[in-house]
Amino acid sequence: MKNKDLSFNQQCWQLLKKIPKGKVTTYKALANALNTKAYQAVGSAMAANPDLISVPCHRVINSDGRIGKFALGEAKKIELLRSEGIEIKDNKVVDLEHCFFDFS
């Protein structure tokens, strides 16, 4: 899903808006949906997110289920994910297969 009229960050944010509450995706899955292997660039796009309300970057986690970074801190990211029904234990999503959102 590449749109030459949008910046890479904007493309990431546009895709991110498709992830419903109670679901998460990974930096890798988001990059794959954009037909790139620029996983770190996806992380940079999340860090540059200007609107944490409408662009839910807290729903992007590491491939191994670890929570990862968040602009408002890891504790806030965990709080947001738990408020959406995602179970977290030891800073990892407990049942990643169940709550994983696939863009395909």
Contacts of 46 (CB under 8 A, 6+ apart): 12, 16, 27, 57, 60, 69
Which tens digit of pLDDT belongs to each residue from 9-49?
999 999 999 999 999 999 999 999 999 999 999 999 999 99
Is 104 inside any structural domain?
no
pTM for the whole structure: 0.90
Which residues is 19 bridged to in the sheet? none
CA–CA separation, 23 and 40 (whole Å): 21
12 noted as active-site residue: no
Q: Which of 16, 42, 45, 57 is catalytic?
A: 57
Is 65 inside any structural domain?
yes
Tell me how many domains the chain contains.
Answer: 1
CA atoms within 13 A on the CB side of 10: 6
Is 22 inside any structural domain?
yes
